[in-house]
Amino acid sequence: MAHKLKIASTSLAGCFGCHMSLLDCDEKIIELLQQVELSRSPLCDIKQVADCDIGIIEGAVANSENVEVIRQFRAQCKTLVVLGACALNGGIPALRNQYSLAECLQESYIDGMGLENQLIPQDEDLPEILDQVYPVQQLVKVDYALPGCPPRADMIWQCLSALVAGQQPELSSELIRYD
Amino acid sequence: MSPEQAQTIFEDTRQRFAGAADDTRLLQYLVDIQHRYHFIPPPAIEALQQILHLTRAQIESVIDFYSFLHSDQAIRYRILFSNNITDRWAGSAAMMQRLTVALHGCEDAGIALTACSGLCDQGPSMLINGRAIGRLTPSRIDDIAALILSGVELEDWPESLFMIDNVIQRSDRQLALSCQPAAALRRAIELGPDLILQTLNESGLRGRGGAGFATATKWSLCRQASADQRFIVCNADEGEPGTFKDRLLLAQYADSVIEGMTIAALTVSARRGFIYLRGEYRFLLEPLQADLQRRREQGLLGSAILGQAGFDFDIEIHLGAGAYICGEESALIESLEGKRGIPRIRPPFPVTHGYLGQPTIVNNVETLFSVERILQKGAKWFSEIGTEQSRSSRLISISGDCEEPGVYEYPFGVSLRQIVQDCGGSDAQAVQMAGAAGTTVLARDFDRCLSFEDLATGGSFMVIGKQRSLLDMLQNFAWFFRHESCGFCTPCRIGNHLLPELLQRFAEAQATGHDLRQLKDIAETMHRSSFCGLGSSAPTALSDALEQSPEIFTAGMASSSDNPAFDLSAATREYRTITETESW
Amino acid sequence: MASFSIDQQPIEFEPGQTILQAAMAAGVYIPHLCFHPQFSAHGSCRVCMVRIDGRTASACTAPAAAGLEVENLSDDLQALRRDILQMLFVEGNHLCPSCEQSGACHLQSVAEFCELLMADLPFQYPRRMVDASHPDWVLDFTRCIHCELCVKASREVDGKSVFSLTGRGFDTRLVINAPDGLLVNSEFASTDRAASVCPVGVFLPKHQGFKTPIGQRKYDRHSIEQITEE
């Protein structure tokens, strides 16, 4: 068998719903896994992305760790596939962009109901929170964008199976839905 | 504001405008109120609602559209520094800084920027409550600061501060010809409409506003359109950055311009005309009104002009209030009707459906001036110079890096090299033609010539010295269009909003290949799909630079990467500030 | 009857019709957003750009004329539409999964039809107060695309002039005619045409949440090119 393609995937500020949709490819996922090797992914326990053929990202960019991860993925992956509304326009996390970061932190850690020992977390081991939530394409080049909340499993399959086969993905237009 | 004050303002507003209340005059009422109270107070809005039967939102939306109208609070001295690139090159930023420091803590004064105020030949310049002051120097700034701090009424400021020079650096046959009131008009009466049109047609006169539409054709279309009434509008909203030749014509050749309008009225049987005067030229209002009044007394305006029964025509002056878009003829007409200056769907064109839906001729100041010249001296005299498609001469306003700024009259066909040499711009790297929306001609192309066939202009000719940064100029133009887009259509509203930030990345040498591509894409989308000429021409200088001066962009790029520039430390600054000030 | 062509297909038209009106009457879909057949053309969104005898123009404002050759769904024009649509998506807060208009949103559906996969421009995320003053409606102004359909509907159908656009440039925004600018103190009524004509999600009824299940919403049932505006 020919060289196996290496795939990495992760979620930034997201809910892993796009990964769930990937799993909705059902038995086809087995077919896919036979042809690829996994790097960093919630499906295995590799923590750092290494040189990859395909990187898959879901979720928006909301803190400095997200920035580091997305930049690593971009640097390490030949092709970057970006899944879902959060990654592509901020999605649900971007609802906080309606407020200043100070307002968000104040409500979450100081004024919110039922809080004790109110303080805004700050520690060198904690990522710094960005002034607003950013979509992925405002930081790195995106090769393939699959919108949706989540993207339809069939669309993810169309994209990944084509890439694995070394072809240019062609997405069926009826699968393009933003929610 | 006390209830008594509010009541006084309400009554005062009602009394002054209720007599002949007319909602097409809304903008004029607002300009008047702004002038009187240094803002538009809520009780004045209520009075206008009552008189004009408009909703509060309708009135406020007009106030919000024009940058010289304010409904927030009264500021006794509203100072606007002209932010045209020539003003900046002349040192406007330092002047603004000096005044800001001098007036620190003074609540009577507000300082902001405005688009080109039309004094580029004597910049840096400012407007204070709509009055223009040019040739700013540190000592003049100090004088101004002292007057404000001691609370002297603007009316009592020394006249020397407000002196505006109208410098003609080069005359050709049109400017050299003196104005003999009524000579052209008498000739026009002799000829009658058909022969007037024939004369204009033979003269080859094309509109001087920029687009170059044949004047005779425009007038014929208006004359042919069936209508109850027709209107003549003089477009004196000279907003193209770097242009000021209309200012000179209105100051020194007003009789010719008014006579041109009267001839137009005779030709199409119009009874009413308007001069739409940009708010920046408010200082010309009284002199123009005096000119109109004198002509009425001379029987050159009003009823039975020059004794011709049925030849009735009069002119009103409408003031603009700081909106470049109103130079676009259909937006100008909306503004004349008292509304926000949003361009109309075309077709139909103003020439058949203009002011109040009636056929309307909208001509540039210079076009009307040329009409008077042509009727005075004949089509042959006018057309014997120039090029095949661009007959005769035209006025250009020269400013920027040259020794002799001012108004120049040149026959069409003159090369840029000649012009640049004449005005003492020996160190020019380029010339910006036709204002911020125009094309940038590099020195290597100075053999190109001034004409509709090659390089058209609405009158602006800004000389760019070798020491200047073209990127800085593009940023200035981007600021201008963000400020002046009317916001009606998607590509112009959003494209013009996005471009300044993208250009800033290049200015900070942080841009990437992605950002460069995005500049091109946005410019292309605006160019292809904008609703009117403002949006489609706004990115012209940017597109020119991308094509002919790519090095200014490469110099601003940190990498050719396909990833956009993203400044992580800027994005986390707010968090660090919050957590650092956190006491725990 | 005189005719012109759209993508080589002959289209008959009545004198006075625009290209878009004639196309709609003939059942040919030209993507559009700010146009609604009940109201006069607006021309602001620029989504209906077509190429007429080689010149690019908006179909909603261009008069139909015999013999015109109109290009509509070519790759080039669809790409131009995506460029225009992505501007709208970065201008406002169009976060579909959190919007109750999703599935019945004209903007969303047109963008899906035009195969816009992502908006690759800097997102602006405008901050504007929602108006939740009315007992039955909430207005989210950050989604407004300035089509003025509610302005026209309120003025021409409802006879009220509740809405106006104010400001200039990127600061253009929808305002309500009430002494305090709040919907509850305006003449607005739930039955107003202005409330139902919005092509995006500015007007949201209260007391219901994501009422129509996914799969049964307006554009789930039919794709946009099969639906005539209601």
What ipTM did this prediction achieve?
A: 0.97
Outline where C29-105 has alpha helix (H): 75-91
pLDDT of residue B583: 47
Query: CATH second-level architecture of C3-76?
Result: Roll (3.10)
Is the CB of residue C176 less than 8 Å away from at least one CB of chain B? yes
- pLDDT tens-digit profile of B474-483? 999 999 999 9
Q: Is C3-76's fold the same as C127-208's?
A: no
**Smallest Cα–Cα separation from B400: which of B374, B420, B378?**
B420
* Strands B360-364, B231-236: pairing kind: parallel
**Percentage, residues of chain A above pLDDT 90:** 77
d(CA B410, CA B419): 9
* Spatial CA neighbour of A151 closest among C112, B567, B299: C112
Residue in chain B lying closest to A110 (CA): B582
* B270 CB neighbour count, 10 Å cutoff: 25
CATH 3.30.70.20 fits C127-208, yes or no: yes
Please report the pLDDT score of residue B1 as a whole number.
Answer: 87
Do the chains contact at C125 and A145, CB–CB below 8 Å? Answer: no
Instruction: Please state, in angstroms and rounded to a whole number, the distance separating the CA atoms of residues B35 and B13.
Output: 13
Q: Please check the confidence at residue B584 and state whether its pLDDT lies above 60.
A: no
Tell me if B529 and C56 make a contact (CB, 8 A cut-off): yes
Shortest CA gap B73–chain A (Å): 27
> Where are the domains positioned within chain C?
3-76, 127-208
Rounded-to-integer distance, Cα B67 and Cα B85, Å: 19
- Cβ separation B574–A101 shorter than 8 A: yes
What is the domain range of residue A153? 5-95+129-175
Task: With a cut of 70, say whether residue B125 has pLDDT above it.
Answer: yes
Residue A85 and residue C96: Cβ atoms within 8 Å? yes
C41 chain-B contacts, CB cut-off 8 A = 345
State yes or no: pLDDT of C50 exceeds 70. Answer: yes
A102 within domain boundaries: no
CATH number of the structural domain spanning residue A53: 3.40.50.700
Taking contacts as CB-CB distances below 8 angstroms, the residues of chain A near B514 are 141
Which DSSP category does B506 fall into? H
Chain B residues touching A64 at Cβ < 8 A? 568, 572
Question: Quick check: B544 pLDDT over 70?
Answer: yes
Q: Quick check: C26 contacting B, CB < 8 Å? A: no
| Whole-angstrom distance, CA of residue C109 vs CA of residue C91 | 17
pLDDT at B211: 84
The residue among A62, A106, A108, A54 whose CA lies nearest residue A79 is: A54
- Give the Å distances, CA to CA, from A5 to A34, A140, A146, A170, B296: 10, 22, 20, 20, 88
Q: Do B489 and C61 touch (CB under 8 A)?
A: no
Closest Cβ opposite residue C83 in set B347, B482, B525? B525
The residue count of chain B comes to: 584
Q: Which residue matches tokens 């120039």?
A: B386
pLDDT by residue (tens digit) across B442-489?
A: 999 999 999 999 999 889 999 999 999 999 999 999 999 999 999 999
Check residue B357 and report its DSSP letter.
G
What proportions of chain C, in percent to the nearest 5, are helix, strand and coil? 30, 15, 55
Whole-number Å distance between alpha carbons of B110 and A129? 37
Whether residue B572 and residue A130 make contact (CB cut-off 8 A), yes or no, is yes
In a domain, A16, yes or no: yes
The mean predicted confidence, pLDDT, of chain B is: 96
Q: pLDDT tens-digit profile of B552-574?
A: 999 999 999 999 999 999 999 99
Tell me how many domains chain A contains: 1
Token pair recorded at residue C194: 């202005």
What does the block give as tokens for B110?
A: 């507000």
Single pTM value for the model: 0.96
Asked if the Cβ–Cβ distance from C127 to A88 is below 8 Å, we say no
Chains that touch A (3 or more CB pairs under 8 A): B, C
Does A105 contact B574 at a Cβ distance shorter than 8 Å?
no
Residue type, B121: D
**How close A179 comes to chain C (CA, Å)?**
5
CA atoms of B438 and B440, how far apart (whole Å): 7
Q: Which of C108, C125, C130, C225 to mutate to test the interface with A (most CBs of A within 10 A)?
A: C125
A81 within a domain of the structure (yes/no):
yes
Query: pLDDT value at position B582?
Result: 52
Taking only the tens place, the pLDDT of each residue in A160-170 is 999 999 999 99
Q: Can you tell me the distance from the alpha carbon of B303 to that of B293, in angstroms, rounded to the nearest whole number?
A: 13
DSSP, residue by residue, B442-483? EGGGTT-BBSSSSB--SSEEEEEETTS-HHHHHHHHHHHHHH
Ranges assigned E (strand) in B336-392: 360-364
